[in-house]
């Protein structure tokens, strides 16, 4: 069941709405996390209030300096491990107070966390909140490492990435393991909605998924690729191009799982080779040294395998 909007609005109307993340925060130029937050919160309908949760991470330390916060809505800073549980408790308390007539306004419940606090440290809390089907949205801004604490590898870090805990050198080609497919794991929780997106074109894909996640009754999860200029080592102005290449190479496909139905939102007319995505990032520069061609081939094979698996899921 999905709540219906108060009135019909064009995409331009949504983009012109007042920001719910105020300027003046301390996020880096070219950071994907800030872009993700602004895009998701813009999907809230006029008149709806929100409670924003935030697991410890880059976003939290840069947008919340006690007693000040960059959010115009109610805000809760959580520890790394408990963002899902905290927001589930707030949503439950809201339902009780609303039933008793002590709250009249409509509230939505949205939690943000990086991949460290979502894929790893906070996964148990997130899994529990999703299994209980709290009417909330958990948004992972996936930058592929523990960026806030020094660019250490996480289970979201892609294979062969150079991080401070998987340093490239004579004895190592970077992280040896494949990245965790968290969107598929959350879809396996049988929750009402899961969406995977990033920043391409006019943000229409992310906007539609954010609105659907917020206004679908029950638990929802959004996984948003949110590049980090420090950890990925790219020029700040290149973020949109990198995101586009992530989609066009099928490294980061755009899809959703709506009440169990897998839907592919975009299929490239001509799937680009993974080198086009990797070469833009300093964390993969070692892959392009003579003699390392086989590493790119292995990376390509893994991208192809996951893409074919996604096509199969969406064809059923």
Q: What is the pLDDT of residues 263-295, one digit of tens each?
A: 999 999 999 999 999 999 999 999 999 999 999
What pTM does this model have? 0.94
pLDDT single digits (tens) 55-65: 999 888 888 88
Decide: 267 and 286 in contact? Cβ < 8 Å.
no
Coil, strand or helix at 199: coil
CA distance 237 to 108: 33
pLDDT in the model for residue 107:
96
With 90 as the cut, is the pLDDT of residue 6 above it?
Answer: no
Decide: 36 and 224 in contact? Cβ < 8 Å.
yes
pLDDT in the model for residue 8:
67
- Which CA distances in Å does 280 have to 181, 236, 244, 255, 277? 23, 12, 12, 24, 6
- Domain 11-315 sits in CATH at 3.40.50.970
- Strand (E) or helix (H) holding 75: strand 74-78
Task: Give the pLDDT mean for 37-43.
Answer: 94
Query: Would you list the domain boundaries of the chain?
Result: 11-315
Task: Give the pLDDT mean for 153-177.
Answer: 97
Task: Give the pLDDT mean for 132-151.
Answer: 97
Q: What is the mean pLDDT of the chain?
A: 94
pLDDT in the model for residue 23:
83
Indicate the pLDDT class of residue 2, thresholds 50, 70 and 90. Answer: low
Indicate the pLDDT class of residue 7, thresholds 50, 70 and 90. Answer: low
pLDDT in the model for residue 184:
98
With 90 as the cut, is the pLDDT of residue 29 above it?
Answer: no
CA distance 36 to 13: 18
Task: Give the pLDDT mean for 58-76.
Answer: 89
CA distance 261 to 313: 9
- Strand (E) or helix (H) holding 187: helix 182-187
The pair phi, psi for residue 75, each rounded to 5°, is -135, 140
Indicate the pLDDT class of residue 3, thresholds 50, 70 and 90. Answer: low
With 70 as the cut, is the pLDDT of residue 304 above it?
Answer: yes
Structure tokens at 39: 């895009």
pLDDT in the model for residue 18:
84
CA distance 293 to 290: 7
Reference 213, options 107, 296, 267, 135; nearest CA is: 135
pLDDT in the model for residue 253:
98
């Amino acid at each position: 069941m999905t709540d219906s909007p108060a009135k019909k609005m064009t995409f331009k109307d949504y983009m012109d709405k007042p920001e719910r993340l105020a300027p003046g925060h301390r996020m880096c130029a070219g950071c994907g996390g800030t872009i993700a937050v602004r895009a998701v919160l813009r999907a809230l309908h006029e008149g709806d209030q929100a409670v924003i949760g935030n697991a410890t991470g880059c976003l939290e330390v840069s947008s919340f300096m006690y007693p000040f916060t960059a959010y115009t809505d109610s805000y809760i800073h959580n520890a790394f491990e408990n963002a899902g549980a905290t927001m589930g408790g707030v949503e439950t308390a809201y339902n009780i107070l609303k039933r008793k007539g002590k709250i009249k306004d409509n509230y939505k419940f949205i939690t943000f966390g990086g991949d460290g606090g979502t894929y790893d440290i906070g996964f148990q809390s997130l899994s529990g909140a999703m299994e209980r089907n709290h009417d909330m949205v958990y948004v992972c801004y996936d930058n592929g490492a523990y960026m806030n604490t020094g660019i250490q590898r996480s289970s979201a870090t892609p294979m062969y990435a150079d991080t401070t805990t998987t340093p490239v050198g004579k004895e190592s080609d970077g992280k040896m393991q494949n990245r965790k497919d968290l969107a598929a794991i959350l879809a396996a929780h049988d929750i009402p909605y899961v969406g995977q997106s990033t920043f391409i074109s006019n943000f229409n894909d992310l906007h539609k998924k954010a609105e659907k996640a917020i206004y679908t009754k029950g638990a929802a999860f959004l996984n948003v690729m949110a590049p980090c200029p420090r950890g990925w080592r790219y020029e700040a102005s290149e973020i949109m191009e990198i995101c586009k290449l992530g989609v066009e190479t099928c490294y980061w496909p755009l899809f959703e799982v709506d009440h169990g139905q897998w839907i592919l939102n975009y299929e490239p007319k001509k799937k680009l080779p993974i080198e086009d995505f990797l070469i833009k990032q300093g964390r993969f520069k070692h892959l392009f040294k003579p003699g390392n061609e086989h590493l790119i081939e292995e990376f390509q094979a893994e991208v192809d395998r996951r893409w074919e698996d996604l096509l199969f899921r969406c064809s059923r």
